[in-house]
Amino acid sequence: MSDASFSFAPLPCRGLTLDLSIPRIMGIVNTSPDSFHADSRLPELDAALNHARRLVAEGADLLDIGGQSTRPGYIEITDAEEITRTAPLIRALAAEFPRLPLSIDTYKPAVAEAALAAGAHILNDIHGLQGPGGPALARLAAKTGAALVVMHNDPALREAPPNTSPVPAVLEFLRRSLSIAVSAGVREDRLAIDPGIGFGKTQPQNIALLRDLAALRELGRPILLGVSRKSVFGHILPELATPADRLEATLAATALAAAQGVRLHRVHDVAPARRAALTAAALAPRT
């Protein structure tokens, strides 16, 4: 597949521009007390702010702020609680790092609106605008000039016959998401896509997608991959039983993804992921 089918153009986001000529690292800052990875549970503002500073020092190109855990079996919190967890942190980070793109990881319009008012630049929706708040999120992005990440998340995919490639269904879902965004007035150059590893898929489907991420390039939008320390690695190697065991596996997947043209990598461990992604991209065969 030719690189002409994939956008390495910059990603505009509310007055900032994220250069995607090389892989970029999105550091994860979770303010929820029940994140699946224990080391990223940062419910106190000072702890979350210090963690964010450390990720920036390690080379994070942008940060993704989340207040609602979406781990399997998660309990949904109120909009007010999620805003309390995220907006003060975003406001503090926007003041301290005015040129650093900040993403809000939420599917709730009220939370997104508060995050944008606090200084966020990117909306990251795990339902790809196809949840109840999707149209409102798209309108917020259009109104404010925020960039928008739409993720595949469709549990119906789990019912597909075994050994069927998940790629066509993922492409179809993401096309709908992109269409919803554009119809709401979001500029196409502000959109990115996420295959949604670990959401609405069996573990074999997760693995199949990781092997064929390059197939998503036909949508012409930057790909964001969020696979850091996830359970798919435990399915590959049972010895990787907990998130704490999965750093090396995450780095391997990050490198393979970067070699396939993935330009945005959402990770817990910024410094090693940055090195893995940049090395892999530099050594990847030219297509």
Q: For residue 73, what pLDDT is reported? A: 72
23-70+80-283 to CATH, choices 3.30.70.2190, 3.20.20.70, 3.40.50.1260, 3.20.20.20:
3.20.20.20
* Distances from the Cα of 79 to the Cα of 67, 83, 115, 130, angstroms: 10, 6, 12, 19
Tens-digit pLDDT profile for residues 12-63 = 999 999 999 999 999 999 998 766 665 666 778 999 999 999 999 999 999 9
pLDDT tier for residue 286 given thresholds of 50, 70 and 90 = confident
Please tell me the distance from the alpha carbon of residue 105 to that of residue 99, in angstroms, as a whole number. Answer: 19
State both tokens at 135: 């149209």
Please tell me the distance from the alpha carbon of residue 200 to that of residue 142, in angstroms, as a whole number. Answer: 27
Q: 108, 221, 246, 266: which one is catalytic?
A: 266
| DSSP-derived secondary structure letter, 158 | G
Is-contact 204 166, C-beta < 8 A?
A: no
pLDDT, mean over the chain: 93
Exposure b/e, 268-287, CB count within 10 A at least 16 = b: bbbbbbbebbbebbeeeeee
266 in active site: yes
Tens-digit pLDDT profile for residues 205-255 = 999 999 999 999 999 999 999 999 999 999 999 999 999 999 999 999 999
Please tell me the distance from the alpha carbon of residue 120 to that of residue 155, in angstroms, as a whole number. Answer: 29
Could you give phi then psi for residue 184, rounded to 5 degrees? -85, -5
pTM metric for this prediction: 0.94
Please tell me the distance from the alpha carbon of residue 252 to that of residue 99, in angstroms, as a whole number. Answer: 30
187 in active site: no
Average pLDDT over residues 168-179: 98
pLDDT tier for residue 2 given thresholds of 50, 70 and 90 = very low
* Out of 58-62, 92-96, 161-165, least confident range: 161-165
Percent of the chain at pLDDT above 90?
A: 88
Q: 221, 230, 246, 263: which one is catalytic?
A: 230
